[in-house]
Chain A
Amino acid sequence: MKRFLIVLALFCLVAMLCAVGDTTVNRKTEALSAPLGRIDQLAAAEQYQEALVLCEELQQAYEQDFPFFCALLHHQRLEEIERSLCALHSSLFLEQREEARAACAQVELLLRELAELDRLGVGNLF
């Protein structure tokens, strides 16, 4: 009985940490996705300097969250986001409108996938 209670407590703790982890991943990816719409608008309007500032802020925010994501998510997914962010930055720097908008959409999609790949749902369970 004692062993059962210890394991039950351990399981509840892990389940709680998992739930907190999932919620935090969702919250962080949503926060990271927020400026992407604005960056896209600025790139479409060819206001590259402003977009570049926002992109660098986004990269910094991503770097801050990176250790947390690393502990919970497959590193390959994170590397893809890093590459896309670099592509976005380069396109804005080189003032390539279409490439910048495409990279922006890719980062948005990858961040959405990051939140959705482990989200609790029938699709992910089976």
Chain B
Amino acid sequence: MITVMLRTVILYFTVTVALRIMGKRTLGELQPNELVVTMLIAELAGIPIQEPEIPLVYGVVPITTLLFLEVLFSYLALKNDWIRKAFIGRPSIIIHQGIIDQKEMERQRLNMDDLLAGLRQQEICDLSTVAYAILETDGKLSVMLQAKNFPLTLCDIGRHPQTPLLQHILISGGKLRSSTLRMIKKDTNWLHNQLQTRQISKVQNVLLMTADEEGNTTIIQKESAQ
């Protein structure tokens, strides 16, 4: 069984290195090490399920090993920049101050079609409007527009609206969430008062009740209780 563990460690590193060499293009929303774990776990879990002759430990031991490696390297990457660079990589600047870095594109094996497709996915059709385009470590393209192409905001026209407060769910499907009530520092008396002002007698009659930190509520009554 220890052999199975060590084989898993070897495969983890092999597949991670292979994916790092393959580059960001192959990833698509997952970091290299995350993709390795996802790929291998899916495969490992399938083997004992499909073949009853293989003991479950042949799946459980490698999966536990992968879980450990994943958590270990996430932790180490958090603490150590070198490990982060080795395992996760660095973002690549493809467009810098409006100028395409052709060498970087070549290094990332990205052609113009790929770049334009990435921009179109961000709803950008004109390359000249882009100030920066960065290929992130998970393979996604982040884009910053030229200042003149920034979308207009309320601040630009001198309006400074209040940031809306987060709505917390107090009652959902007739069930009270006491933890939310404590979080917004209110009690059941306050809740019942709120319900009574809307002529609702029971919590069970409420489909949804939300409240923000200032105590502003939104209540939707169940159709059956109306």
Chain A residues in the interface with B (C-beta under 8 A): 1, 3-4, 7-8, 10-11, 14-15, 17-19, 21-22, 70-76, 118-121, 124-126
Contact = CB atoms under 8 A, between A and B. Distances in A.
A73 B55 contact: yes
Contacts, number: 69
26 contacts: A1-B75, A3-B71, A4-B75, A7-B68, A7-B72, A8-B71, A11-B64, A11-B67, A11-B68, A14-B65, A15-B5, A18-B4, A18-B5, A19-B1, A21-B1, A70-B55, A72-B1, A72-B55, A72-B57, A74-B53, A74-B58, A119-B3, A120-B2, A120-B3, A120-B6, A125-B7
Contacts of B57: 21, 71-72
Contacts of A19: 1-2
B61 interface: yes
A26 to B, nearest CB: 12
Contacts of B6: 120, 125
Nearest to A15: B5
B86 interface: no
Interface string B33-65: 000000000000000000011111110110011
A74 B54 contact: yes
Contact of A22 (B2, B7, B54, B75): B2
9 smallest beta-carbon distances between A and B, as pairs: A18-B1, A11-B68, A75-B53, A7-B71, A14-B64, A124-B3, A4-B75, A120-B2, A21-B1
Given A10-B64, A73-B55, A74-B53, A15 B2 contact: yes
A124 B57 CA distance: 18
